[in-house]
Amino acid sequence: MLDIKLIRDNPQAIREQLARRGDPYDLTPLDALDRQRRELETERSQLQARSNEIGKAIGQKMKSGADPQSDDIQSLKIEGNQLKRQLAELEPQEKEISRQLNALLLSFPNLPSPSTPDGDNENDNVEVRRWGDEYKPSREGILSHIDIGEEMGIIVSDRAVKVAQSRFIALIGAGAALERALISFMLDQQIAAGYTEVMPPVLINSRSLEATGQLPKFADESFKCDADDLWLSPTAEVPLTNLYRDEILNAEELPIHHCAYTPCFRREAGSYGKDTRGLIRLHQFNKVELVKLVHPEQSEAEHQKLVANAEAILQALKLPYRVIELCTGDLGFSANKCYDLEVWLPSAGTYREISSCSNCGDFQARRGNIRFKEKGKKGTQYVHTLNGSGLAIGRTMAAVLENYQLADKTIQVPEVLQPYLKREVL
């Protein structure tokens, strides 16, 4: 959530920053509601002050022995009752204006970082670096991950569709084992890197999705349990961040580094016709997520470390990838700066996203009211939140099935996974 005081004090600067995202954002309704709210607050404050004066005056007169039925005291009581009625009328008006203002504020995305490159869409993203070209398979005729998986009988699509619907798959035998091995390996790696493992709820309430930015804008992207105020988690970023919602932390507790394996659920609204086969764009998928709550002064450095933590998984697996810095036009709603990791898929001859590492600054912390206090300093500050996939399991499996595919249509098990699978070939 954007700081209303910042918008009030620097409207033109905010307009310019929002314009970098490519969409027109009109601050006029926001300004009008903010003015209304402040006018109502001023009026209420003045009425309350006068009401307090009257109460005090009546008390003093009664204490000095005045007749409670005297014209003076009765006149004050009449005025006091009138003020109470006015205050009672103002309260719902003020609440409604505040509700409208808050709803409007929730619709605005984060401001891009000054260092985020400008651009209109993904075509303007900037490639930062590549790694692992020497590990790219040199032979021709590599099957796609879904074709080799179905041929091996380790990925089952048609029966999964029978159980659920399209964009669901089932993993059988070595497929399930490979998925489990990847999960365990990634968690072990991130724990060794200093993250504390969490097993959070995967059913989450609306307030949690609102805090991290999925609601209200992206309601159609998530699955809701209609009988309850609960949603299937689209990413562990949501429950991990919301563990600290409405809390004031001690500065000594920062940074907080969490990792979690969870199943994730997304409708993929608006993506119909894209990647309809395979593990790239499913309604249900597994992911190891990394989340950080940090001191604002450490935000940028922690972001770079987060990217490195995600890269370390790909490097250990010897999967070729590249790092892309997203431009302002392709930036996620809650992020002010973001790097995508894209893994090489030889069957398509292209890189595909496998992790998105975002710095959200204090945007989510404001929405979720997550603050910290430093010793010897007055007041509190909002933490900065960061998140990234470490990694998306299904997409990692797809990359392994293609990059480690042998000529006899078996799969060489990456060396780091062999202790988990206790075999060298699938």
Active-site annotation holder among 37, 266, 366, 371? 266
- Return the amino acid letter for 137: P
Are 202 and 413 spatial neighbours (Cβ–Cβ below 8 Å)? Answer: no
Report the alpha-carbon distance of residue 385 to residue 364 in Å, rounded: 7
Active-site annotation holder among 167, 281, 352, 367? 281
Active-site annotation holder among 356, 358, 367, 371? 356
Q: What's CA 207's distance to the chain center, in Å?
A: 13
| Catalytic (active site) residue 356 | yes
Report how far apart, in Å, the C-alpha atoms of 116 and of each of 105, 326, 339, 341, 358 are. Answer: 22, 7, 10, 16, 12
| Catalytic (active site) residue 64 | no
| Catalytic (active site) residue 207 | no
Report the alpha-carbon distance of residue 360 to residue 14 in Å, rounded: 17
Active-site annotation holder among 51, 371, 395, 402? 395
Q: Which helix (H) or strand (E) holds 264?
A: strand 256-265
> Minimal CA–CA distance to 152: which of 396, 414, 395, 411?
411
Active-site annotation holder among 43, 221, 353, 374? 353
Classify residue 36 as left (phi > 0), alpha (psi -120 to 50) or beta: alpha
The residue with tokens 């997409």 is 395
Classify residue 265 as left (phi > 0), alpha (psi -120 to 50) or beta: beta
Q: Which helix (H) or strand (E) holds 41?
A: helix 28-63
Rounded to 5 degrees, φ, ψ at 284 are: -130, 130
Report how far apart, in Å, the C-alpha atoms of 399 and of each of 55, 61, 230, 298, 422 are. Answer: 74, 84, 33, 33, 20
Classify residue 224 as left (phi > 0), alpha (psi -120 to 50) or beta: beta
Residue 114: which residues within 8 A CB-CB, separation 6 or more? none
How is residue 134 annotated by DSSP?
Answer: G
Report the alpha-carbon distance of residue 161 to residue 102 in Å, rounded: 41
Q: Which helix (H) or strand (E) holds 4?
A: helix 4-9
Are 370 and 385 spatial neighbours (Cβ–Cβ below 8 Å)? Answer: yes
DSSP codes of every residue in 273-289: TSS-SSSSS-SEEEEEE
Residue 385: exposure state from Cβ atoms within 10 A (0-12, 13-18, ≥19): buried
Query: Active-site positions?
Result: 266, 281, 353, 356, 395
